[in-house]
Structure 1
Amino acid sequence: MASDPTTGTPGVEAPQTDPKPHPHATEDEVKAAYGDPKLANVLYHDWEAGTYDEKWSISYDERCITYAVDRFRAVSGGEGPYGHALELGCGTGFFLLNLMQGGVIEKGSVTDLSPGMVEVALRNARNLGLDVDGRVADAERIPYDDNTFDLVVGHAVLHHIPDIPAAMREVLRVLKPGGRFVFAGDPTNIGNFYARKLGQLTWWATTNLTKAVPVLSDWRRPQEELDESSRAAALEAVVDLHTFDPGELEGVAREAGAEQVKAVTEELSAALFGWPVRTFEAAVPREKLGFGWAMFAYRTWQRLSWVDENVLAKVLPREVFYNVSVTGRKV
């Protein structure tokens, strides 16, 4: 497991002693991870870091800049720009880097429990010419001083953190007075249920059909790649710790001391389409799916997102949508 990068004294930054990426875990390490969600997060995300952007169709162009900025504004109300922002659980830097390119953030810092993800995020920042530093860090013990940041963001990170109330208190500690946090893209209780079921059904149908029908054999990924994906999916079940009720998530933020707290949800028909599509893409050879497929998937998701926002959100309870985002301010 990654070593604790802090000195043990809240608000005091430790010397730079971050651990190195560990993308080739042993069988014994993987077995140990089943009883240690933080170790599982390190192993799984170090394993995924080099291919994560490709797996989730992450880019740093207009498509994902627009997506990130729109998600941020939908929950935050459209304020900014912010001088210095921190991203927790940064992954490859998708949310922070695209917000910076979209003019929402001027200077950035990234943290993640996975050394591999921090390494990739910093490399992406350098390639984009963005002013970003980074640390390997636990969200429950953030290695920055009190009152450091104007903004703290995260995307699809809260469901990986064992102690969310502790992390929320840390977020408020490192925010400047009046600073804002925005966490987007975490699964709701109901949304996670139907997304997982659709993903499992799509994986089963695709892998079995391409195996049983000779004419579709070219559409079957090599068995070793399918086994690798299955092992990753098994570890993924360990790192996904929470799903959320929007009202309860608001309550956690308020109990930590935040004010002006608000949770919003999005994606219903877009999620019902998107999860089978992403699972299908993971189950077939990449060379079989070209630019035309990518544009079909993206444009369809865009249209369904519009339906969700402008039609379904007006008549259905927020709890049935897939993604929940939450924002608030430090007093």
Structure 2
Amino acid sequence: MTASPQDPAPNPHATAEEVEAALQDTKLAQVLYHDWEAETYDDKWSISYDERCIDYARGRFDAVAGDQPLPYERALELGCGTGFFLLNLMQGGVAKTGSVTDLSPGMVKVALRNAEHLGLPVDGRVADAETIPYEDDTFDLVVGHAVLHHIPDVEQSLREVLRVLKPGGRFVFAGEPSTIGNFYARWLGRATWAATTNVTKLPFLSDWRRPQAELDESSRAAALEAVVDLHTFDPTDLENIAKSAGAVGVQAKTEEFAAALLGWPVRTFEAAVPPEKLGWGWAKFAFGGFKTLSWVDDKVLQHVVPRNFFYNVMITGVKPGTTD
């Protein structure tokens, strides 16, 4: 589990001046926001590296590429964050060895640490997704989760993905926000945050209120998040971008409609109240409710609701040619 010695060090405590500069520089904002979030990101999004998230990652992969022979020999995760997608896919038998890249040094550091704890053969680089620092025809598989919407030039990034893939190699990206889904998710998140932070000002609910300094920091992080979230996607438009980049066998699918209507208020509420107030009962409700509504989405709503109304977009494609 190695990182390149020339990679920059994480900067988890951005100054006010750096944050102000980042409001005008999206790539600086990406680095500052994700370095800021790196050490707490897994807890914030309930990310784990056990059966629960292995099944989730495999479910996203199988939804668009489930008919492929496994495992792939070498895989790359683009915009790896803490390594959630690739590390769980590797544990689920999708790939033998891996590489992780992210614009944030803090995220690469945490992803490599997670890989080491899991005993997985993974190397890592701090890298811009528009100029991937690997040779042509290096990887059998490229994956990413919730990354394309952070990249200024998505088509250029997909060209780079196809360049580093071997002929016949596949990419799978999941967790991208749809345009309609992002609208209702953001509205629900803002409404939940406003309601929770105002109600907990009441004296008899004061112990349900996080310290003001923590709420202020969350608000600053949210301001940066608004800068780093650059795109939402109509599934058909995303398919066309991938085809324009040179991919073949392109297919987009969507998921999470009812589940997103629950998930966004739940996650926002969790960020607004002290974590010690939320015990096992809350966790059981949140996870159980998400699972139940995901089943409703999959078995019922997928057949009656247009795909662009679902929150998450997944896409796969292949590099033309075959390996000899």
Structure 1 Cα separation of the partners of residues 30 and 58 of structure 2: 27
Structure 2 Cα separation of the partners of residues 206 and 16 of structure 1: 44
2:84 corresponds to which residue? 94
Give the Å deviation of 1:16. 4.0
CA contact (8 A) 1:261 1:328 kept: yes
Q: Residues 300-324 of structure 1: CA distance to partner in whole angstroms, max 9, x if unpaired?
A: 1011001001100101110000000
1:124 aligned to 2:110?
A: no
Which blocks of at least 5 consecutive residues in structure 1 are unaligned? 1-14
Structure 2 Cα separation of the partners of residues 220 and 200 of structure 1: 17
Q: Residues 191-247 of structure 1: CA distance to partner in whole angstroms, max 9, x if unpaired?
A: 000000000000000000010x22111100000000010000010000000000000
Task: Please give the TM-score of this superposition, normalised by the length of structure 2.
Answer: 0.97
Identity %: 74
Q: Match for 1:264: what amino acid? A: K
Structure 2 Cα separation of the partners of residues 295 and 52 of structure 1: 20
Task: Please give the TM-score of this superposition, normalised by the length of structure 1.
Answer: 0.95
Q: Match for 2:291: what amino acid? A: Q
CA contact (8 A) 1:88 1:110 kept: yes
Q: Residues 274-317 of structure 1: CA distance to partner in whole angstroms, max 9, x if unpaired?
A: 00000000000000001221121011101100100110010111
1:312 corresponds to which residue? 301
1:193 aligned to 2:183?
A: yes
Q: Residues 39-61 of structure 1: CA distance to partner in whole angstroms, max 9, x if unpaired?
A: 00000000000000000000001
Q: Match for 2:305: what amino acid? A: L
1:262 aligned to 2:251?
A: yes
Structure 1 Cα separation of the partners of residues 71 and 243 of structure 2: 25
Alignment of 1:152-163 (within 5 A): 152-163=142-153
1:113 aligned to 2:103?
A: yes
1:147 aligned to 2:147?
A: no
Structure 2 Cα separation of the partners of residues 125 and 93 of structure 1: 8
Structure 2 Cα separation of the partners of residues 253 and 37 of structure 1: 23
CA contact (8 A) 1:149 1:174 kept: yes
CA contact (8 A) 1:110 1:135 kept: yes
Give the Å deviation of 1:81. 1.2
Give the Å deviation of 1:272. 0.2
Structure 2 Cα separation of the partners of residues 40 and 163 of structure 1: 16
CA contact (8 A) 1:92 1:120 kept: yes
CA contact (8 A) 1:118 1:136 kept: yes
1:35 aligned to 2:43?
A: no
Structure 1 Cα separation of the partners of residues 63 and 103 of structure 2: 28
- RMSD between aligned residues: 1.0
Q: Match for 1:167: what amino acid? A: S
Structure 1 Cα separation of the partners of residues 295 and 245 of structure 2: 34
Q: Residues 81-126 of structure 1: CA distance to partner in whole angstroms, max 9, x if unpaired?
A: 1110000000000000000111111100000000000000000000
Which blocks of at least 5 consecutive residues in structure 2 are unaligned? none
1:283 corresponds to which residue? 272
Q: After TM superposition, what 4+ stretches of structure 1 lie above 6 angstroms from structure 2?
A: none
**Higher mean C-alpha displacement, 37-46 vs 70-79:** 70-79
Q: Match for 1:233: what amino acid? A: A
1:4 corresponds to which residue? none
Structure 2 Cα separation of the partners of residues 277 and 78 of structure 1: 34
Q: Match for 2:241: what amino acid? A: V
Structure 1 Cα separation of the partners of residues 93 and 312 of structure 2: 24
1:324 corresponds to which residue? 313
Structure 1 Cα separation of the partners of residues 299 and 119 of structure 2: 36
1:167 aligned to 2:161?
A: no
Structure 2 Cα separation of the partners of residues 141 and 250 of structure 1: 21
Residue 81 of structure 2 aligns to a residue whose secondary structure is coil
Structure 1 Cα separation of the partners of residues 67 and 93 of structure 2: 11
CA contact (8 A) 1:72 1:78 kept: no
